[in-house]
């Protein structure tokens, strides 16, 4: 395969160099007499025909295959008809040049597409070929598709995690850069959830599979990348239809120029026939839609690749187009604006206790609890000695009572303190407060809250800079918490205490007043309906559920809202590039076409070269312009 590609490239390069040499020979020595004939006929014509066959053979093969599929009108058909017409009127080198430079344009376009595909390749190459099963502590290498839910598998240092799961044994550091873009390794330990696609940097990890391979985070991401090109934008679809209608019209017009116009002007004059046959051939070359047909789909392909390189998987060009039109962003709260997990916000001990003493008391009380608040407090369990705990009792809806070092320890809400007649200071806050009393004394309180992501405020401020007029937060949380989060994140409006179906109704009302340019961002199962309803649905790849990812139009793999800002910029750059390519290509072709058809202009000797520039030259310029999208920073 590599040999064929190398031969193909060598063939084109040599043909191009010989074509350029023939141009100079024809200009300076073409009409030089050589016996009873000229150099043009004796030397240039034979060499041209040999090169023409060498260069054009594969084009004729492709054309024959297209004809067999009833694809009669395309850029290859135009190129071959134009080259034959040029050869017929004695413009041998020009006829050769049409096919040579068309081939160069195609090779250049293929190179550009391959370069842009490299940005997606890094994601495609994530798929592992094997998994080491570890059921009953016996290692067995199997195909990833053979691993079932609840199977154990082991991931050694340097290996990529193949399936989503929970760490059963071991602690290590993970390289998550390929999935989230984070350069800093992430620590993990027993009990942590782990997504496929990350790389284990440390000790071996034993993982219990929670999803089958085809349904894992990595497989879903690969499916999005691989299917993105099939979802074409309206511009791309228009170009495909345009080329099918445009090509036969151009061929018909060229035929009329070559036959009807000479009949009208002076059918007895061979020079008139020669002039307008050449004009028809030039017209075919000028009209070839290569610049549009190649460069515009390529701009979308490159932009999708750039987006994936920035950890944003957009499901197709049609969805990418919609991002530049966004004027309203609606967001879920938990897991989207906030981190989605409880954290200790503040520790407030009384004068009789230190912060460390208060935290240790609360940790001991919560040691046996599986409540999310307890898990937030118990991130570090090393300093807890179970032998100090006795008579553990969980009081429903209030908290925990236990004996710690032989003394009563109470941890819970204000109702628990009231029940045991503990004198305490009630904290007025919308967030969760955990009160603690030890040996009958009030020890203090701990504030637990779901914190805003470090990047959320910056991202929301950037929304406004990128043309977003308003932002909304729709949440099931209470009014007081929603109000605090909205103010901290600089969100325009919010609605609280919403059930999933009420979220959809609220979103529909927002869409009515936003001219249907609304983007909804969410991560939970309850967001799936909103993601489908919105003009653009964006899900979080790490925190997002399977249903959420499937319902969305784009996935942010690192759960950073700034991904939307990057996609808006990519979408706008892509649209500008497409419009510039369209306007430039059509303008040049129209100008050269007009020059070609004016009989009084003394340009007969170089009109075919102008035509070649209007086709191949413009194509290369447009392809280069599309390729520039790869070099931009977002």
Q: Are 610 and 285 in contact (CB under 8 A)?
A: no
Contact of 164 with 121, CB cutoff 8 Å: no
Q: pTM to 2 decimals? A: 0.65
**Mean pLDDT value of segment 85-114:** 70
Enumerate the β-bridge partners of residue 402. Answer: 409
Domain membership flag for residue 307: no
Domain boundary among 404, 426, 452: 452
Same domain, 322 and 397: no
The token duo for 158 is 């340097």
Q: Answer with the one of 192, 219, 246 that is the final residue of a domain.
A: 219
Q: How many domains does the chain have?
A: 4
pLDDT, tens digit, 9 for 90 and up, residues 501-542: 788 889 989 998 877 689 999 876 667 778 888 889 898 876
**Residue 392 is part of which domain span?**
339-452
Residues 248 and 173 grouped into a single domain: no
pLDDT value at residue 78: 66
3-class DSSP state of 175: strand
Whether residue 306 is contained in a domain is answered as no
One domain, residues 13 and 109: yes
Least confident of 87-91, 188-192, 406-410, 550-554: 87-91
Q: Tell me the CATH number at 160.
A: 2.70.150.10
In a domain, 564, yes or no: no
CATH code, domain carrying 319 = 3.40.50.1000
Answer yes or no: do 110 and 234 share one domain.
Answer: yes
Among 431, 452, 473, residue at a domain's last position: 452
Q: Are 297 and 236 in contact (CB under 8 A)?
A: yes
Identify whether 179 is part of a domain: yes
Nearest-10 crossing angle of helices 75-88, 234-266: 20
CA distance 107 to 90: 28
- Whether the pLDDT of residue 259 is over 70: the answer is yes
pLDDT of residue 152: 95
Q: Are residues 79 and 102 in the same domain?
A: yes
Instruction: Identify whether residues 6 and 114 lie together within a single domain.
Output: yes
224 falls within a domain: no
Q: Share the mean pLDDT of the chain.
A: 81
Question: What pLDDT shows up at residue 495?
Answer: 92
Q: Is residue 207 part of a domain?
A: yes
365-370: average pLDDT = 83
Q: Are residues 372 and 319 located together in one domain of the fold?
A: no
| Annotated catalytic residue, options 332, 523, 527, 560 | 332
Query: Are residues 466 and 604 both part of a single domain?
Result: no
User: Do 377 and 249 share a structural domain?
Assistant: no
User: Would you state the pLDDT for residue 112?
Assistant: 52
What whole-number distance in Å separates Cα of residue 359 and Cα of residue 356? 5
Residue 229 has a pLDDT of 45
343 or 49, which is more confident: 49
Identify whether 352 is a catalytic site residue: no
Q: Which of 224, 150, 145 is nearest to 544 (CA)?
A: 224
Same domain, 348 and 423: yes
For 496, other C-beta atoms within 10 Å of its C-beta total: 18
Q: Give the residue from 172, 130, 171, 154 showing the smallest Cα distance to 209.
A: 154
Q: Residue 71 domain-assigned?
A: yes
- The percentage of residues in the chain with a pLDDT greater than 90, rounded to a whole number, is 25
Query: How much is the pLDDT for 4?
Result: 65
In a domain, 66, yes or no: yes
- The per-residue pLDDT for range 163-212, each reduced to its tens digit, is 889 999 998 888 775 554 444 567 888 888 888 878 888 889 999 999 88
User: Does position 230 have pLDDT exceeding 60, yes or no?
Assistant: no
273 and 418: one domain?
no
Under 8 Å CB-to-CB from 156, ≥6 apart: which residues? 132, 200, 204
Say if residue 154 is in the same domain as residue 170.
yes
């Amino acid at each position: 395969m590599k040999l064929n590609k190398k031969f193909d490239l060598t063939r084109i390069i040599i043909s191009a160099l010989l074509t350029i040499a023939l141009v100079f020979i024809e200009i300076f020595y073409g009409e030089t007499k050589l016996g009873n004939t000229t150099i043009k006929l004796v030397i240039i014509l034979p060499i041209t025909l040999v090169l023409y066959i060498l260069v054009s053979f594969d084009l004729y093969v492709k054309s024959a295959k297209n004809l067999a599929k009833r694809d009669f009108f395309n850029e290859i058909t135009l190129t071959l008809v134009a080259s034959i017409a040029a050869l017929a009127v004695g413009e041998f080198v020009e006829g050769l040049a049409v096919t040579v430079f068309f081939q160069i344009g195609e090779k250049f376009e293929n190179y550009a597409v391959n370069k842009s595909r490299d940005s997606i390749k890094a994601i495609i190459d994530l798929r592992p070929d094997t998994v080491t099963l570890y059921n009953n502590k016996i290692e067995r290498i199997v195909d990833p598709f053979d691993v079932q839910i609840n199977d154990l598998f082991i991931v050694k240092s340097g290996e990529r995690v193949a399936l989503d799961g929970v760490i059963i044994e071991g602690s290590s550091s993970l390289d998550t850069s390929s999935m989230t873009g984070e350069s800093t390794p992430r620590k993990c330990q027993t009990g942590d959830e782990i997504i496929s696609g990350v790389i284990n940097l440390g000790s071996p990890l034993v993982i219990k599979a929670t999803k089958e391979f085809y349904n894992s985070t990595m497989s879903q991401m690969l499916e999005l990348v691989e299917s993105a090109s099939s979802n074409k934008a309206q511009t791309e679809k228009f170009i495909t239809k345009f080329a099918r209608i445009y090509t036969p019209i151009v061929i018909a017009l060229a035929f009329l120029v070559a036959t009807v116009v000479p009949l009208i002007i002076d059918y007895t004059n061979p020079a008139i026939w020669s002039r307008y046959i050449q004009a028809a051939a030039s017209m075919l070359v000028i009209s070839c839609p290569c610049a549009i047909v190649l460069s515009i789909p390529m701009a979308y392909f490159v932009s999708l690749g750039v987006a994936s390189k920035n950890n944003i998987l957009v499901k197709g060009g049609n969805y990418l187009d919609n991002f530049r039109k966004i004027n309203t962003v609606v967001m879920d709260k938990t897991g989207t604006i906030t981190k989605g997990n409880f954290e200790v916000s503040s520790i407030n001990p009384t004068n009789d206790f230190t912060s460390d003493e208060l935290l240790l008391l609360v940790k001991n009380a919560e040691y046996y609890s599986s409540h999310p608040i307890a898990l937030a407090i118990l991130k570090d369990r090393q300093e807890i000695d179970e032998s100090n705990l006795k008579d553990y009792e969980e009081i429903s809806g209030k908290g925990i009572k236990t004996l710690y070092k032989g003394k009563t320890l109470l941890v819970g809400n204000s109702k628990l303190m009231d029940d045991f007649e503990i004198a305490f200071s009630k904290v007025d806050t919308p967030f969760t407060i955990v009160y603690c009393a030890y040996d009958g004394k009030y020890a203090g309180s701990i504030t637990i809250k779901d914190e805003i992501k470090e990047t959320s405020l910056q991202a929301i401020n950037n929304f406004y800079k990128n043309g977003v007029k308003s932002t909304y937060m729709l949440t099931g949380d209470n009014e007081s918490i929603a109000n605090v989060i909205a103010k901290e994140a600089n969100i325009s409006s919010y609605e609280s205490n919403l059930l999933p179906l009420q979220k959809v109704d609220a979103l529909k009302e927002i869409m009515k007043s936003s001219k249907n340019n609304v983007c909804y961002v969410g991560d939970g199962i309850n967001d799936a309906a909103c993601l489908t309803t919105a003009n653009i649905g964006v899900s979080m790849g790490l925190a997002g559920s399977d249903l959420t990812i499937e319902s969305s139009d784009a996935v942010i793999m690192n759960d950073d809202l700034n991904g939307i800002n990057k996609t808006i910029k990519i979408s706008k750059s892509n649209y500008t590039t497409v419009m510039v390519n369209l306007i430039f290509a059509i303008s040049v072709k129209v100008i050269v076409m007009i020059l070609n058809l004016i009989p009084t202009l003394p340009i007969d000797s170089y009109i075919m070269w102008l035509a070649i520039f209007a086709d191949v030259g413009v194509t290369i310029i447009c392809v280069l312009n599309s390729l520039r999208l790869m070099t931009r920073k977002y």
